[in-house]
Amino acid sequence: MTAGRLDGRAALVTGAGSGIGLATARRLAADGARVLTTDRAGNVDIVADVTEPGTNAKLVAEVDARFGGLDIVVACAGITGMQMLDGHDDEFFDQMMAVNVTAVFRLMRDALPLLKRSPHGRIILIGSVMSSFGEAGMTAYSASKHAVLGMTKSVAAEVGAFGITVNCIQPGAIDTPMTAPAFTAMPEFKQRWIDKAALGRLGQPEDIADVAAFLASDDARFMSGHGLFVDGGATQRQ
């Protein structure tokens, strides 16, 4: 941990009620950032649904009102789930896209005016190793995370002229409240991901939060447009 390297910077973290978002908010704060947290539930600064039109613009405005600007955006709000294509319903697919793609797009768009004013503008998205390969039953989720990686690259090309970096963390299997139901219901699925990882374990939220803090710092000032695998080496063992 590098205390103080984010001193004076203002951050907005969505999905901060638990898991990766909570760990990221804590890590950014430990490094000195002033952090506004939001989620649909939990012990956060603002309870909000990022899929509702206008919500992200209100969150950005609130950060500006509280901190006088915005330097770091971390889009951790997301959902997962499995449905086989045979019988896959539209509502499941649409909700996956609404949370994992549309809300992320709106957050970046609405935060951009403030980020342009910052000398340390950072956008950090949470993708998945599923943006590099597929998995049975994960069509909707995989499609959403491919979209996150695509947005990362395109937005990075667009906003680099303002000194803003855009990167995407691509976690492997992380032990969070979101993944816990699937791991509990399908212990063989959990074990398969443990075995898949070269390091032989599931990731913890802090494993992702530490990388987010790095990307938010000046140490990553010349990195942009990348998807960074943080998966314990799982993608090396396909």
Closest Cα partner for 215 from 151, 158, 169?
169
State the sign of the Cα–Cα–Cα–Cα dihedral 17, 21, 24, 29. Answer: negative
Those residues with Cβ within 8 angstroms of residue 11's Cβ, 6 or more apart along the chain or in another chain: 25, 28, 33, 34, 35, 36, 70, 71, 72, 73, 74, 216
List 59, 77, 122, 141, catalytic entry: 141
Known catalytic membership, residue 224: no
Q: Where are the alpha helices (DSSP H) in the chain?
A: 19-30, 55-67, 90-97, 103-117, 139-159, 180-185, 187-196, 205-216
Per DSSP bridges, beta strands 72-75 and 46-47 are unpaired
Q: Which residues are catalytic?
A: 141
